[in-house]
Structures are given as C-alpha cells and as structure tokens.
Amino acid sequence: MSESGSISVSIIITYYNSSEFIQKALEFSEKQRGVSKEIIVVDDGSDDYHKRELKQHLNRIDVLLTQENRGQGSARNLGIANARGKYILNWDSDDYFEPEFSEIALEKFAVDPSVKIVTCHALRTSDYINGEIIKPLGGCYKNFLFDNAALGSAMFKREDWERVDGYDEAQSVRGFEDWDFYLRILYPAGLAVVIPKPLFTYYRHQNSTTSKLSNFRMDKRQYIYTKNSEIYKNHYAELISDVFRRLKKEEFEKNKNKQRLEYRLGDLLLKPLRILKRLLN
C-alpha cells in the first residue's frame, strides 16, 4: 500500500484473467524500496472468476479500476490517468521488478535530465524456457526506429506520457504499443537507460499477444512508420533498407519451409489430384 506523504511513483499493473500471478506482482510492488508509491491495478475485462479472485487482494491495492477488454494500451492509459505519482512504473500481473529497481531508476532520472525511460535486463520464463536473460539496447530514439530497444515494462515521467498523448489504443498497433510509445517519448532528444542487472522477471505465455504477432508484423510496422512519418522522413534511406531486409528474410523463410520434407511430401501427394482436376476441366 502507499506510504504517507507525496507519491513519487505510481505502479500500474494491468490484469486480465491472471489470478494465479497477481499475488506475487503485488508483493513485489509493495517491496519497491526508497520511494513513496501507490499501487494501481487495471482489470482489462477479466471474467467473473478472475474478478472475484482479484478482489481477494484489495488490501494491497490503492486503486482498482475496471474496464471492458480494450487491450494493454488502453488499460495503461486508464491507470496513468488516475495516477498521482510524478513517475510511472508499469508491468503486467504476471511480471515483477526486483525491490531495488525503483530506487535505482529514480537515481538515473536525477543525474541526467535527458533520461526519459529507465528499464533493465530481464529474466524471461515460459512453459518451455527457464532463465533466459534479455538485454535491451536502450539509447536514443534512433535505436528505436525499427525495433523496441527497451522492455515493455519501464519507468517514465507522467508528464512525458501527457506530452505524447499516451499509448496508442488502436487495434492496428496492438502488441507494438510500447515500441510506438517509447519512440514518441524519446524523439527528438531523450535517452532510454538500461540498468545492466536482471531486475525484472516476466512470463511469456504461449498464447500471448506478442506470440501471435508473426502474421501481422509488417502491417503493424507500416502503421507505426506512417503514423510517425515526421520522424521517419529524416531516416528515409534507413527505412527503405530495413523494409527490404525484412521482406528478403520473409522470402528466405518461405523458401526454406518449401524445402522441408513435410512440404515436399504434401506436394507429391497433391500432384495427382491437380492432374485429375485439369483433366476434368
């Protein structure tokens, strides 16, 4: 729960049908050291069972907000709009930052006014992976032109969220809203600092939004590139190079799949049917 006095950090936790994880997320929220804080949970349209389970933890939550399921960007915007802290620290209900993160992050903001985002190395887990270390690049907006160079969960100033009109809530960018948001915050002259320690743990679900993006990546990239044309017009040559590099990679993967035994056997089995179809026509 929040400490007495002014709030320096508002912790925004988005929640969707994840009652098995929320207790740990709240425990690590409470453990954030060296800051005055409030804990805000946004329920993004969970079913009745998970809503009931979430209410078992009301004693650990300063503000509980609910909405119909509209996605992570919308849930984060709702939480931040109701936040009192100068700084925002966001994560999902199946993630958590180690207790020292907030204190270290505020020190980074204090020593350099150009710092807009503070993140860290991360420990990624899933049903199949245990202990994979992720090391974001960070840096200026140029490092964010073609990929997200920070974790989706990070600390930033509430005033910067206001300055860029928050997260984009459009379906067209869903799954990439963090990248788009960071790019806008950092342009033209901000820095994303990466603490070189694994102070964040997140669980990658097999059916998560990110894992479902493979068939829509180019569409989402096109949306971000077009929307932020003011940024990309100064990097036209790099943009064209990146687009063609990705198209070549996609073509390579398609050709590689065609060489797989399963594909060749399937093609062999279907060949008589194609011949018969031509004869009948």
Least confident of 8-22, 46-60, 111-125, 210-224: 210-224
Class of domain 9-227: alpha beta
Summarize the confidence of residues 246-275 as an average pLDDT: 67
pLDDT reading at 274 higher than 60: yes
Confidence of residue 244 (pLDDT cuts 50, 70, 90): confident
pLDDT of residue 251: 77
Parse the chain into domains and list their residue ranges.
Answer: 9-227, 239-280
pLDDT of residue 250: 77
Query: pTM for the complete prediction?
Result: 0.85
Per-residue pLDDT tens digits for 90-133 = 999 999 999 999 999 999 999 999 999 999 999 988 766 677 89
**Does residue 246 or residue 281 have the better pLDDT?**
246
pLDDT reading at 24 higher than 90: yes
Per-residue pLDDT tens digits for 32-52 = 999 999 999 999 999 999 999
Quickly list DSSP for the chain.
-PPSS---EEEEEEESS-HHHHHHHHHHHHT--SS-EEEEEEEES--HHHHHHHHTTGGG-SEEEEESS--HHHHHHHHHHT---SEEEEEETTEEE-TTHHHHHHHHHHH-TTEEEEEEEEEEEESS-EEEEE----BSGGGGSSS--S-SS-EEEHHHHHHTTS----GGGTT-HHHHHHHHHHTTT-EEEEEEEEEEEEEE-TTSTGGG-GGGHHHHHHHHHHHTHHHHGGGHHHHHHHHHHHHHHHHHHHHHHHTSHHHHHHHHHHHHHHHHHHHH-
Summarize the confidence of residues 217-235 as an average pLDDT: 93
pLDDT reading at 259 higher than 80: no
pLDDT of residue 132: 87
pLDDT mean across residues, the chain = 88
